[in-house]
Amino acid sequence: MSEQRPKVLATRKFPADIEARLSSEYRATLNETDRIYPPEELVAAAREHDAVMCCPSERFSREVLEQVAGSIGIIATYSVGYEHIDVPAARDVGIVVTYTPDVLTDATADTAMLFILAAARRGAECDRFVRSGGWDRWHTLLMLGTHVSGKRLGILGMGRIGQALAKRARGFDMPVHYHNRRRLPPEQEQGATFHADPADLLAVSDFLSINCPSSPETVRFLNAERIEMLPEGAFVVNTARGNIVDDEALIAALRSGRVAAAGLDVFDNEPNLHPGYLDLDNVFMLPHVGSATHETRTAMGDTCLANLAAFFAGRPCPQALT
């Protein structure tokens, strides 16, 4: 009886309770060492399973999807982003793709607010200063930062996370502005001001928070030209995707003071981030942990499992992309 259970490949190590459920409900292949599958091994392993539960570290290009079509029926990605999967190609070859929206919202919005505060109050620089032994006395000009209350927050991408960030920013008395592909209904705007043209948003963004998906339209959106549209000494926060920022342009602006400080959780080509960030005191960085709470990571796993259960029961998957 148990051998009739579907076979699921878990490409990365997941929280213990999620792996326990995978092993209980399916014939699961777990990744005990959390190594990243090379593309050719990923194809070979996927062909021996009915489903894959993956992370953004595994890339399912059209070529890969065409090779595993007919073997796996569903890819459940443990992420809200899905640019690592060629979704149109998956649709073409009949593979269902699901993701984990909603459950990351609060944790990521909290991280964006952390970046706003840390950038404004020189969090990274202060931490290094204390640890290095440089703090020998208190004085009135020590590590002066910027007050966030009353400063204008511009949100690029007013989806779930952007809306949650706007709600938090209101608690700090920050006027909120946003740009989105389309204007939200008033009840979802959190009192924010809509700008149809992103250039207009940049002009009023004392703090700019990037919360939009990565797409052909947004890759390298924040380049040198658009940085010049920001108010002098603006702050930049990115908890979305690293490739939305032109690293060379932002690093130059941080060095010159054109941008006062930045808070970055995501990087282009991560974890191999641009080395120019490493010696900048005015950058507060995290290793892509915007959703890294016990509660959120468990909820992400629960969402993947719910999608797998629906697929194998012949029901529509709750968070299907295809």
Q: Examine the domain organization and report whether 181 and 234 are in the same domain.
A: yes
* Cα radius of gyration rounded to whole Å, the chain: 22
Is residue 298 predicted with pLDDT exceeding 50? yes
Q: Examine the domain organization and report whether 163 and 251 are in the same domain.
A: yes
- Quick: pLDDT tens for 221-240: 999 999 999 999 999 999 99
Domain that holds residue 192: 105-281
- Quick: pLDDT tens for 242-260: 999 999 999 999 999 999 9
Running DSSP on this structure, what letter comes out for residue 26?
S
Q: Examine the domain organization and report whether 55 and 114 are in the same domain.
A: no
270 within some domain: yes
Q: Examine the domain organization and report whether 52 and 128 are in the same domain.
A: no
211 close to 290: Cβ distance less than 8 angstroms: no
Q: Examine the domain organization and report whether 66 and 20 are in the same domain.
A: yes
Q: How many domains does the chain have?
A: 2
Q: Examine the domain organization and report whether 124 and 177 are in the same domain.
A: yes
Concerning whether 241 is annotated as a catalytic residue, the answer is yes
Q: Which residues are CB-neighbours of 102 under 8 A, at least 6 positions away? A: 160, 303
Q: Examine the domain organization and report whether 44 and 182 are in the same domain.
A: no
Percent of the chain with pLDDT over 70: 99
- The model's pTM is 0.92
The active-site residue, picked from 63, 270, 295, 297, is 270
287 within some domain: no
Give dist(CA 51, CA 308) in Å, integer. Answer: 8
131 within some domain: yes
Concerning whether 225 is annotated as a catalytic residue, the answer is no
Q: What is the pLDDT of residue 4?
A: 86
The active-site residue, picked from 21, 49, 195, 241, is 241
Q: Which residues are CB-neighbours of 174 under 8 A, at least 6 positions away? A: 148, 149, 150, 151, 152, 153, 207
254 close to 232: Cβ distance less than 8 angstroms: no
Strands, E, within the chain: which ranges?
Answer: 7-10, 27-29, 51-54, 74-77, 96-98, 153-156, 176-179, 193-194, 207-210, 234-238, 259-264, 283-285
Confidence of residue 275 (pLDDT cuts 50, 70, 90): very high
- Quick: pLDDT tens for 149-178: 999 999 999 999 999 999 999 999 999 999
318 within some domain: no
- The two most distant CA atoms of the chain are separated, in Å, by 73
Q: Examine the domain organization and report whether 120 and 197 are in the same domain.
A: yes
User: Quick one: which of 113, 103, 160 has its CA closest to 295?
Assistant: 103
Concerning whether 255 is annotated as a catalytic residue, the answer is no
The active-site residue, picked from 49, 152, 179, 288, is 288
Confidence of residue 3 (pLDDT cuts 50, 70, 90): low
Q: Examine the domain organization and report whether 303 and 260 are in the same domain.
A: no
- Which CATH number goes with the domain that contains 183? 3.40.50.720
Give dist(CA 299, CA 305) in Å, integer. Answer: 10
Q: What is the pLDDT of residue 140?
A: 96
110 within some domain: yes
Q: Examine the domain organization and report whether 85 and 139 are in the same domain.
A: no
Percent of the chain with pLDDT over 90: 98
- Quick: pLDDT tens for 260-271: 999 999 999 999
